[in-house]
Structure formats: C-alpha cells, structure tokens
Structure 1
Amino acid sequence: MIRKTSLIAVGVVAALGISLWGGSAMAQGDSYTIKFGNVISAGDTQNQGYALFADLVKERSDGRIKVQVYPDSQLGGEREMIEATQFGDIEMTAPSVGVLANFDKSLEVFDFPFIFEDAETAYKVLDSELGDEMLAGLQNSGLIALGWGENGFRNLAMVKGTVKTPDEMKGIKLRTMQVPMHIAYWRSIGAAPTPMPFPEVFTSLQQGVVDGVENPYELLYSAKFTEPAHYLTETRHIYDPEVILISKDFFEGLSAEDQKIIQGAADEMVAKIRSLKATISDEIRAKIVAAGGTVTDLTDAERQQWIDSAIPFYKENASKVDTEKLKAILEAAGNTTYLEAIQ
C-alpha cells in the first residue's frame, strides 16, 4: 500500500498537472509503457503474477498503459535493476529484500535466519502497520514499494551429498547473494559463503566453483540448479520476501487515476502470487524427485539444531542493524527464541 504521506505529495503533483519524470509532463489520458524487469524464470509463479498485473493495467486503462515484463535477468541482476529503477532507465522491478537492504539498511532485519515458522506468519507481519513502515523508507532512495511479493522459503541444494545439520556445513562453499547478514550467518557456522550474481550460479555449480546453493525450491528448479545440485534439504532457513518497486519520480508524475490503476493491479498481483506459492513447493519437490534428485526433510531434532545454531549469530549481529525493528519483527512473529537472545 502507498502511505498517506506519499499520497498527499502525489496528489499535489497530480493536481498541478506536473510530472517529474524525464522533465516532461505526463498528462491524464497519456499512453505509455512500463518496463518491468526481474531475475525470475519466465514460467515461475512470480512471472505468472506479473503477467496478471500487465493484463489488469492494460484492461483498466483501456489499453493506454502497457506493461512489458522482462524475466530471466534480461535487464541485468537484481542490484542493477534496482539502480535502473532509481535512475529511470526502467520503471519497475521486484528484487529480493536481501538485495534491497543494500539500499535501505532498515530492511536488513529480514536477512536474519529462522524468523518465520511459516508463510502465514510472514504474511501477518508484512501486511501489518509494521510491514508498511518497513517499506516507507524506500522513498528516500527514489523508490516506491507497491507491496510485498514472495520468493518463498530458502532451502539448500548440494552437489555432492545431503546436508542435515549445521555441523555438516563446515568448509562448504555455498553460493549466497551479496547480502551481509546471509554471509555472516553461514560464516558463523563454519561454511564458506561465496556471493555471486544469479546468472553465474549454474556454471559455478557444474564446474565445482561452489559446492551448493540456497534458494526457494521453485527458483532452484526453474534455474536448473537442481541438475548439478540434486541433493536438497528443506531447511527453510530464511523466508524471502520480494518487494514490488516502481520509480518514485515516475509514479509521482502520473495522474491520480493511473496511480490507482497501478496500485490496485499490484494488490491483485500479490494476492495471485501468494495463492500460487501455497502449493508450488510440493509440486516442485515432486518434479525434482521424478528427475532423480533427492529432497530430505529434517527431523524435529535436526531442525532444532539449525535454530539453535543461529542464537550466537543473533547475539553478535543484532546490534549491527536496527535492533528495535528486529525485536518488533520477532515479537510480531511470535519468535521468543531469538527475542530472548537479544534482550
């Protein structure tokens, strides 16, 4: 949702008939195209949601507004597309919150492991006033968040064998995103986190540059990472929201009518993505197994080892982020284990 303070500013701009976009006016009724880039494979649930967004915007604007979706990193990696959205080279993107935290430090709290036990808990927190507050700060970076999307829970995929406990990660070269807290957690349990851009991961797994990768099941499968890394473990170590972003200058240069069309379509897109995500993990697991891979569930005792492994990490790193926001997120999620650890 767009915050009240943003709407006031937007209303003033719209009332004056002014656009900050490209230095020229965008009058009500103008036709234009929105470029929407992402790193997700074309058939994945997110891109099904993005396609719905494009259809809704076109329909509700009577064809005036077209949305061109560019999947599969066609317009660059996540960081590159965030910057392109800031500078107006593209209008929209939907990065993982971990990468976006490089642009708004307050979002780093979502990079801590094992915050959410399930997606329903995550939705409750993200859709609250606290979740809205977390997105509002992006406006200082020239971005407006239209809502929380979803990648899902991140799991492990290894090349040489199944990993069940944190101790088995010692010395493992694991591809991660360039996210400081992700890197710090894996390093804290003895792994060798190796950040690299998404397009380089498949070849790196094939050639042994890294021993494994961590991503949601759907992304692991659609990017074909499960071909070289076919030993999967359902760790669910991080819930990975994405954020639907639009250029602030571009959005504020639109008429109030067009802003309403775009925001309304974005709300329906998020609902669609969440609906699709509800069943996709089980479907993808079945496909991975059918293709010869293995997917291992942790026992309660094994999962507890993973949760316990993060307690020292929380104690060491909570002070490096917005600690009060981290506490608020943990409290809203009902996560007393880490809340008690950092009090």
Structure 2
Amino acid sequence: MIRKTSLFAAGTVAALGLTAWAGGENGNAYAQGDSHTIKFGNVISSGDTQNQGYDLFAELVSERTDGRIKVEVYPDSQLGGEREMVEATQFGDIEMTAPSVGVLANFDKSLEVFDFPFIFEDAETAHKVLDSELGDEMLAGLEDSGLIGLGWGENGFRNLAMVDQTVTTPDEMEGVKLRTMQVPKHIAYWESIGAAPTPLPFPEVFTSLQQGVVEGVENPYELLYSAKLTEPANHLTETRHIYDPEVILISKDFFERLSDEDQQIIRDAADEAIAKIRSLKQEVSDEIRAKIEEEGGTVTELSDEERQQWIDSAIAFYEEHASTVDTERLKAVLEAAGNTTFLEAIQ
C-alpha cells in the first residue's frame, strides 16, 4: 500500500533527485534498467568497521549494476540522529540507514527483547540466534513500519567507561550518573542496580563527561574510542552487559519498486557487508584495547565471580520487566541463546 507523503517529505525527495515512478502494474514500479541513487546514513564514525562494511556494500551494488545504482554513504550523523534517520527512511527522504536495535525498538516493540542485559555470552552465540529463522521473523516484523530489514549488522558488546573510577561490581554503580541511550529498558536496568542513568544525545556525551554532567558512559569499545570518549573516561570495564546489533534498513516503498534482480543484488551485497563487519569486529577489539592502554587508560576484565555478580544483578530486572515485552519472544531468544539463568527466572 502506498502511503501519502507529507509536503516536507515530498520536497525533500525532490531535492535529493530520486528517480520518478515509472510504469508497473499499479504505476508505482521502477522501469527495468532505471538508475537510482541510494543515500545511506548512519551515526558511526567514518572508518569504523561498520562504515568499512557499508563502503563495501556501496562498491558491490555499483559493480553488480554496472553503475546504475549508486550508494552514497553518510557517516558521522551527517543526515541526523538514529531515530531521525529511521523516520526519514520510512518517509523515503533517504533510502537506507543502520540504527542500533535499541532505537529501532521504538518502531517495532518485538525488538525490545534485545534491550535486556546479559542475553548472549559471546558474539558467536548472538550471530547464531540472529541468523536463524527466529532472527528472520523479527526482521520481517519491520515491514509493518514501512522498513525492510536487510540483515543484522553489529555494533558489538556494550562496556563501561568511567571518568574517575574502575567499576568491577554492580554495587559500585550506586548513585553513579551514567550516560545511556534513550532506551527505556536500558534505563530501567541501571536504575534497578542503583545507578542514575542519564540519557543524552550522542554528540553531547564528550562534553558532558568533561564537565562532570555524567560520570561514565556505556558503549562498545570501538565507538568509545573513535568518538574520543576514552579521553575523559579512560577507566574501562569489560562488562559486556548488552550485545548491540544494528539492523541494515532500506525503505520498503523504494525497495519494492525495484526489479527482482536489483533487490537480490542489494540483499546479497548486504550479506557480504555484514560478514565483513563481523570479521573486522573480531580483529579490532584487541587493537583498540591496546591503544587505550598505550594512551594511559585502563581496561579491566571481570573475574568469573565478578561477572556472575553482574548476571545475578539482572535476575530481578527480568522478573519485573519480562511481562512488559513480548514474553514468548523473549523466552525464544533466551532458549536459542542457551541462557537458562534468565529463562528459569521468567518461566
């Protein structure tokens, strides 16, 4: 079904020079062989592993369409914040984006299950679950929001970075002002262990850490380092409290007007980009940890006993909040991940 486009969106689309509709059974399909420009926005720093993958995606699409389809990648929040770009993709103002699943849960509540802490023990387990039929079903749910999920990218595990202290147990977070995303379940977990979560837009985090507005931040290592957040917050702890997948999105209206052949080219290129991102993520973590330590920071790994304290700290959170999401979907994810601790807590 074709949505009515707002005057704002229509003007933006015209300004971006998108290809006009042509032919087709309902007058809304692109003609075979049409040329297109895809604007692909994201908030990740240029050169980070995600953008290396997205650049590969652009190269593959151009190569396999003989240049008919050009993908322009806009990193560093050039086209807005994550939520803004998801909305722009819905309206067709831009064609693609790749938000964190925490932000995307605002558009599809079933994805909110990934906002629960300590689901996955490692990235390999996360990949197995996301690439399964269960993961495919969750991506398919985005179509009701006017979005096509091309696949599960990767931001990585979120870890703590503190300004003045090294944190190893959840008790030490009592009263700590911690920057979080504007994600209700993230906020609720930190509140449940006594912290003072403080949602802030990402561009404001560096200054807020410098000025003492917040005392710490939680993000994957690569993003912490590339955004220079490890300069004011150089006491890092590898909590791995949330695995943060990104979803590579394309506008449903735009995608469904393409020929079957062009759709498959885009899907295949996305698969190859995701494989590259995951491979690079494995390599970059050790490199970044070494750089942080060379520059005077500390990176602390939790002992088995300390990590168990963090996991135990989340049991009450699961018991309280499991009923506020798609509980059966949450159970299915936990079961697929082999996570019996939280599965038993919410049975």
Q: TM-score, normalised by structure 2?
A: 0.92
Q: Distance in 2 between matches of 1:47 and 1:65?
A: 19
The one-letter code sitting in structure 2 at the alignment partner of 1:152 is G
Change in CA separation of 1:17 and 1:287 when aligned onto 2, cut-off 3 Å: farther
1:212 maps onto 2:216 in alignment: yes
2:179 aligned residue: 175
Q: Distance in 2 between matches of 1:14 and 1:117?
A: 49
Task: Report the alpha carbon displacement of residue 162 of structure 1 after superposing the two structures with TM.
Answer: 0.6
Change in CA separation of 1:19 and 1:54 when aligned onto 2, cut-off 3 Å: farther
Q: Distance in 2 between matches of 1:170 and 1:264?
A: 47
Report if the CA contact (8 A) 1:17-1:26 is conserved.
Answer: no
Q: Distance in 1 between matches of 2:27 and 2:243?
A: 37
Q: Name the SS for the 1:150 alignment partner.
A: coil
Report if the CA contact (8 A) 1:170-1:190 is conserved.
Answer: yes
Task: Report the alpha carbon displacement of residue 233 of structure 1 after superposing the two structures with TM.
Answer: 0.2
Which residue of 243, 252, 256 corresponds with 2:256? 252
The one-letter code sitting in structure 2 at the alignment partner of 1:140 is D
The one-letter code sitting in structure 2 at the alignment partner of 1:257 is E
Q: Distance in 2 between matches of 1:111 and 1:288?
A: 27
Q: Could you report, residue by residue, the CA deviation over 1:174-193 in whole angstroms, capped at 9, with x for unpaired residues? A: 11111111000000000011
Q: Distance in 2 between matches of 1:201 and 1:76?
A: 16
Q: Distance in 2 between matches of 1:324 and 1:19?
A: 41
Alpha carbon RMSD of aligned pairs, Å?
A: 1.3
The one-letter code sitting in structure 2 at the alignment partner of 1:34 is I
1:269 maps onto 2:273 in alignment: yes
Change in CA separation of 1:162 and 1:62 when aligned onto 2, cut-off 3 Å: same
1:103 aligned residue: 107
Task: Report the alpha carbon displacement of residue 16 of structure 1 after superposing the two structures with TM.
Answer: 3.6
Q: Distance in 2 between matches of 1:15 and 1:296?
A: 60
Q: Name the SS for the 1:275 alignment partner.
A: helix
Q: Could you report, residue by residue, the CA deviation over 1:118-151 in whole angstroms, capped at 9, with x for unpaired residues? A: 0000011000000111111100000000000000
Work out the number of aligned pairs and report it.
327
The one-letter code sitting in structure 2 at the alignment partner of 1:141 is S
Q: Distance in 1 between matches of 2:213 and 2:97?
A: 29
2:335 aligned residue: 331
Which structure is richer in relative contact order (CA contacts within 8 A, separation 6 or more)? 1
**Which deviates the most, 297-306 or 25-34?**
25-34
1:29 maps onto 2:37 in alignment: no
2:57 aligned residue: 53
2:126 aligned residue: 122
Report if the CA contact (8 A) 2:24-2:30 is conserved.
Answer: no
Change in CA separation of 1:206 and 1:64 when aligned onto 2, cut-off 3 Å: same
Instruction: For 1:188-337, list aligned pairs within 5 A.
Output: 188-337=192-341
- Unmatched segments (≥5 aa) in structure 1: 1-12
Q: Name the SS for the 1:102 alignment partner.
A: coil
1:4 aligned residue: none
Report if the CA contact (8 A) 2:160-2:238 is conserved.
Answer: yes
- Unmatched segments (≥5 aa) in structure 2: 1-20
1:87 aligned residue: 91
Q: Distance in 1 between matches of 2:304 and 2:168?
A: 11
Report if the CA contact (8 A) 1:153-1:236 is conserved.
Answer: yes
Q: Distance in 1 between matches of 2:344 and 2:264?
A: 42
Q: Name the SS for the 2:78 alignment partner.
A: coil
Aligned residues: percent identity? 83
Q: Distance in 2 between matches of 1:27 and 1:277?
A: 39
Report if the CA contact (8 A) 2:86-2:99 is conserved.
Answer: yes
Which residue of 133, 140, 160 corresponds with 1:136? 140
Report if the CA contact (8 A) 2:23-2:31 is conserved.
Answer: no
Q: Name the SS for the 2:237 alignment partner.
A: strand
1:8 aligned residue: none
Report if the CA contact (8 A) 1:19-1:254 is conserved.
Answer: no
Q: Distance in 2 between matches of 1:59 and 1:103?
A: 33
Q: Distance in 1 between matches of 2:253 and 2:33?
A: 18
Change in CA separation of 1:17 and 1:257 when aligned onto 2, cut-off 3 Å: farther
